[in-house]
Structure 1
Amino acid sequence: MAHVRTAPVRYAFRHRTYMWLVDLDALPRLPRALRPLARFDARDHFGGTAPTLRAGLEAWLAAHGIRPAGGRVLMLAHARVLGYVFNPLTLYWCHDRSGALRYVVAEVHNTYGQRHAYLLETDARGRAETAKGLYVSPFFPVDGHYRMRLPVPGERLDLAVQLARAGGRPFTATVRGRRRAATPSALLGAALRRPWSTAAVWAGIRRHGVLLYLRGLPVQPRTTPDSREGTGQ
């Protein structure tokens, strides 16, 4: 994954990690010894109180007056590793019973413990736009809108999220990768190469924030909602 900031200062970094693409109705069943390296818990998404990931997604949709599409749902996310997980962005590709993609839900977590989800209708190339609704970076206020490219993953993953504000597009994040089968040996190898991978993502975001602050980038005031979960679409 890569982040590129062009204003008010230019700054870029890349971070290598691994993520999971799973069917919410057929989550991976790992050998007992490897389960601490990859857990998928409903408490880590949306309200955190649903019995399953799919139930959490559908409860969020229902709360916003949206009828679930009823078909397969693919989720791209980090798994809980050694008891910890941090997902800056979780994506859900929601299909109807015929197999057609109906919409995409993008769930964002910030490092302050807040969540916000966006309902997106993508075009044939996976593109969508939505107003920004959550304080994410301490260096940007909650304004502007996101331009996203979120095609359904195939053998390769190629996603992009760009923040557009008055006067320009100061921030772009991309996620690129190659699909690999989630065999026990592949998971063990990934965990050995990048131990405690989700904690490393959180720590990396914090570290780059400190570096930007030391370069003189001003921190924007943060307004916090009453609950941990954002309610906007």
Structure 2
Amino acid sequence: MDDLWLLTSPSYFGFEGINPLSTWFCYDKTRSLILVLLEVHNTFGERHVYVLKAGVGEDHTRPEGVDHQWTFPRQFHVSPFNDRSGYYVCAVSGSSHPQSVYPNTPLPTIRLDLLTSDRQSKLTAITRARTSEPLGVSSLLTTLIQHPFLLFLSLIRISYQAAKLHYTKRLDVYPRPEPISPDVSAEKSYEAVANPPQEGEAIGAGVGWQPEGWIHLRSKARVHEFLEARSKTMNLTITLIPSNPIDVRRTYNATDLTTRTLIIHYRSPLLFVLLFVLPSPTHTLLLGSKAERLFTVSDEELFLEVFEPQPRTRISGTQRFRKWCLPTTLPPGNLSSPPVNALDKDMMWDLEAILVIAGYYGMEWIERALYRIFRARFVSGEEPWNGWKRLDRRRVPEQSPGIGSMRSGP
């Protein structure tokens, strides 16, 4: 690769607004296009890159005037009103190297057609460069004056269209799934998830995850501290493998030669939060792994053994708070709770644990309340706060093929 050009909507003094797509054009030393990178963004701050190679996997036929065209399966959650099934058809025009045709610089156009899983047309989006001029004082000042209005107008327009689709067209909201891991072997370790990506050869992966909040960071720190000591007392090796490539892969080794190993693949740092806020590792395994598919373990019995608390007869105040926050009826009716959580430092009242528990359930309550106030709707059975119900019975949302999650009636 010798040169790289970017077609995007720039940020304005740090404010990026809603920028669905940034397109990177990669050229070799002969100024020939070799790669097109589609960097797709969603409103959750996540990013996914589709890697399109010039001359590789292109469609056999393409419209007149189109330089390159690819059809590939969808993997990333963008619109809340669509699942991740279906295909993209990406058509690129005007992709010649800018300096190779100077002074008539090209004006690239990116056309994306969204197809359903049976390859029926569903939506078309076009990004095109209308002008191309060198950056100077005049053009810079014009951009600085005009750009903030364009950013805020885009935000208003998208919000208006979203409200129209939800309240007028009756399209329900799909909850946000975790991005696809760039580690293919790690991705294969996960079980089937709700809102799965389209089957087919993946040509990209997630490159941007949501930033971790205070609750995630404190829970993660507590789990890491616990596993550091636990691996030595139990004389075993514990490996944590995240989907997020920016996150650190951690391995805790015992001092002696070990024969037992526990490997945990996780999609989200919510794993650490569940270990901290739920009463037992059994609760975490059922909700986080079986119901929500957030993580997998190499050995379930060893996982339960690692996070099993020390024997105790009197229940702690922190554990009482955990049990009080749980739903009154859990699907496994005989699911019991130990007197303490293995991560607690104080045997009666762990202030940090109480703050994390209150924060976790408080945010869940606020989210649920806001949806009720605005009468917003998730796809039936996929509400974020109904994980325990999904464990008991996975519901299939009513869908209209090719349209999304349509609800009939009032």
C-alpha distance in 1 between matches for 2:176 and 2:139: 41
1:229 alignment partner, one of 201, 208, 211: 208
CA contact (8 A) 2:107 2:132 kept: no
Matches within 5 A, 1:10-25: none
- The structure carrying a bigger helix percent of its residues is 2
**Once the 2 structures are TM-superposed, how far is the Cα of residue 224 of structure 1 from its aligned partner?**
2.3
Matches within 5 A, 1:30-45: none
Q: What is residue 322 of structure 2 aligned with on the other side?
A: none
- Please, what TM-score do these two structures have when normalized by structure 1? 0.61
2:121 alignment partner, one of 169, 175, 178: 169
Q: What is residue 103 of structure 1 aligned with on the other side?
A: 35
C-alpha distance in 1 between matches for 2:108 and 2:32: 19
Residue identity opposite 1:157 in structure 2: P
C-alpha distance in 1 between matches for 2:78 and 2:167: 19
C-alpha distance in 2 between matches for 1:109 and 1:133: 12
Residue identity opposite 1:74 in structure 2: W
Q: What is residue 52 of structure 2 aligned with on the other side?
A: 120
CA contact (8 A) 1:122 1:128 kept: no
After TM superposition, the structure 1 stretch with the greater mean CA deviation from structure 2, 195-204 or 160-169, is 195-204
CA contact (8 A) 1:107 1:118 kept: yes
C-alpha distance in 1 between matches for 2:132 and 2:150: 17
The alignment partner of 2:49 has SS state of: strand
CA contact (8 A) 1:141 1:222 kept: no
Verify: 1:191 aligned to 2:144, yes or no.
Answer: yes
Q: What is residue 224 of structure 2 aligned with on the other side?
A: none
C-alpha distance in 1 between matches for 2:32 and 2:73: 25
Verify: 1:157 aligned to 2:75, yes or no.
Answer: no
Distance 1:82 1:126, change over 3 A: same
C-alpha distance in 1 between matches for 2:82 and 2:143: 33
Once the two structures are superposed, residues 189-219 of structure 1 have per-residue CA deviations (whole angstroms, 9 ceiling, x without a partner) of: 2333342533443443233211211211222
Q: Which runs of 4+ in 1 moved over 4 A?
A: none
Once the two structures are superposed, residues 119-158 of structure 1 have per-residue CA deviations (whole angstroms, 9 ceiling, x without a partner) of: 0024572212221111101111001111011231644332
2:82 alignment partner, one of 140, 153, 156: 140
Aligned-residue identity in percent:
25
- The structure carrying a bigger strand percent of its residues is 1
- Please, what TM-score do these two structures have when normalized by structure 2? 0.36
CA contact (8 A) 2:8 2:23 kept: yes
CA contact (8 A) 2:165 2:171 kept: yes
Q: Which has the larger radius of gyration?
A: 2
The alignment partner of 1:211 has SS state of: helix
Residue identity opposite 1:222 in structure 2: R
CA contact (8 A) 2:70 2:90 kept: yes
Once the two structures are superposed, residues 80-132 of structure 1 have per-residue CA deviations (whole angstroms, 9 ceiling, x without a partner) of: 21221143111111111222111111100101111100100245722122211
C-alpha distance in 1 between matches for 2:92 and 2:82: 23
CA contact (8 A) 2:27 2:33 kept: yes
Residue identity opposite 1:220 in structure 2: Y
CA contact (8 A) 2:113 2:121 kept: yes
C-alpha distance in 2 between matches for 1:122 and 1:163: 21
Q: State the Cα RMSD in Å.
A: 2.6
Distance 1:136 1:122, change over 3 A: same
C-alpha distance in 2 between matches for 1:199 and 1:81: 11
Matched pairs, number: 163
CA contact (8 A) 1:107 1:116 kept: yes
The alignment partner of 1:192 has SS state of: helix
Structure 1 unaligned runs (5+)?
1-69
C-alpha distance in 1 between matches for 2:140 and 2:158: 24
Structure 2 unaligned runs (5+)?
56-65, 97-104, 182-205, 210-242, 245-410
CA contact (8 A) 2:72 2:87 kept: yes
Once the two structures are superposed, residues 146-202 of structure 1 have per-residue CA deviations (whole angstroms, 9 ceiling, x without a partner) of: 101123164433221111113521111012342231332223223333425334434
Residue identity opposite 1:139 in structure 2: F
Verify: 1:214 aligned to 2:145, yes or no.
Answer: no
